[in-house]
Structure 1
Amino acid sequence: MYGFILASALVLTACKTAGSAIPPKADIKEIVNSSDVTLVDVRIPEQYEAGTAKGAVNIPLAEIQNNIGSLKGKKVVVFCNKGIQADQAMEILKKNGVDAYDGTSWKNVKAIQDEKQSVK
């Protein structure tokens, strides 16, 4: 009986570890500060003009699908005001094979940039 319990435990444990192989999460700070990243602000132009992260381009969420071609092959960080539109943009980009990362909000991405500047 003890052997059966031990064997069952080993089988269950083996299945659990094999099924939960989660790839490591990318470090968003490293990605935002990499030289080959494209920062995409998915808010409307008026919000973008009021303030955004350094070097960001404005592609509103409503236009993201039409810009897939220009983003393919690039490392893209998307962001908005609070992360809701960025999440939607991420879903669209990932479905279309774009290497996309969630920067959440423009203030978050700007803070990451500012942090790097103050370290220099």
Structure 2
Amino acid sequence: MKSKIFRFILASAFVLTACKTVRTAEIPTANIREIVNSSDVTLVDVRIPEQYAEGTAKNAINIPLAEIQNNIENLKGKKVVVFCNKGMQADEALEILKKNGVEVYDGTTWKNVKAIQEENK
């Protein structure tokens, strides 16, 4: 009986430690409020031009998600925050830019970024 318990505990410990795939040191931590309000940030609204024209965050540029891949070289070397309406397109843009070596952060929605900007007023 003790042998079964020992094997169960050993197997459980192995499974729990084997599932860890990302070390916490590898996950960059960033305060989105500081980044959004940084003087060297590029805010990128990835919505279509019609939506961008209806309202966006202060100083944001419009690069629709469909055009992100074509603008990677323009964004390299910059600190970039991407956002959209609900965060779904921003997530896609984030992944594309990350894979291509751009320092990018998720602002989620344009209203979120705008609210962060207005907090400092």
TM range (shorter): 0.7 to 0.9
- Find the partner of 1:116 among 92, 109, 120: 120
Gaps of 5+ in 2: 1-5
Distance verdict in 2 for CA 1:20–1:72, change over 3 Å: closer
- 1:25 is displaced (CA, Å) by 2.0
Between the aligned partners of 1:20 and 1:35, the Cα distance in structure 2 is 32
- The one-character-per-residue Cα deviations of 1:18-52 (angstroms, maximum 9, x if unpaired) are 96531352100000000000000000000000000
Between the aligned partners of 1:46 and 1:20, the Cα distance in structure 2 is 40
| Aligned ranges 1:92-107 → 2 under 5 Å | 92-107=96-111
| Aligned ranges 1:72-83 → 2 under 5 Å | 72-83=76-87
In structure 1, give the amino acid aligned to 2:54: A
| Aligned ranges 1:35-54 → 2 under 5 Å | 35-54=39-58
SS of aligned partner of 1:48? helix
SS of aligned partner of 1:39? strand
Identity across matched positions, percent: 72
TM-score, normalization: structure 2?
A: 0.81
Between the aligned partners of 1:94 and 1:24, the Cα distance in structure 2 is 12
TM-score, normalization: structure 1?
A: 0.82
Give the corresponding residue for 1:21.
Answer: 23
SS of aligned partner of 1:54? coil
Between the aligned partners of 2:61 and 2:71, the Cα distance in structure 1 is 12
Gaps of 5+ in 1: none
Distance verdict in 2 for CA 1:95–1:48, change over 3 Å: same
